[in-house]
Amino acid sequence: MTDQERTRLEAHERLKMSLRLNGTSLAAEARKLKVSRTTLSLVGLRKLKNERIEQALAEAIGVPVSELFEPTEPQEVKK
């Protein structure tokens, strides 16, 4: 497993835990958004970009989208 994959997996696990602590789950949010749980997982793993789902997940746990979906890849430094 690469560092990037590990970082994405850890972020996804934090998302699932945060949802549980807020009384919901990926499955419940998927039903609410009328998408598959797989789609939500792919968004949570940062393998699929979907602004509507990202916004809904951020709202479900009460954080800004930018905090929940902060970049997981190293950012290129501009000189």
**Confidence class for position 75, pLDDT limits 50, 70, 90:** very low
**C-alpha separations of 44 from 21, 34, 58, 61, 78 in Å:** 16, 16, 11, 13, 28
DSSP character for 20? Answer: H
Token readout for 47 is 């393998």
3-67 fold: 434 Repressor (Amino-terminal Domain) (1.10.260)
Quick check: 60 pLDDT over 70?
Answer: yes
The domain locations on the chain are 3-67
Mean pLDDT of 31-45: 94
Alpha carbon distance 56, 74 (integer Å): 25
**Confidence class for position 79, pLDDT limits 50, 70, 90:** low
Alpha carbon distance 57, 37 (integer Å): 12
User: pLDDT tens digits, residue range 4-27?
Assistant: 889 899 999 999 999 999 999 999
Q: Which residue has the tokens 């970049």?
A: 71
Token readout for 64 is 């800004």
Quick check: 76 pLDDT over 80?
Answer: no
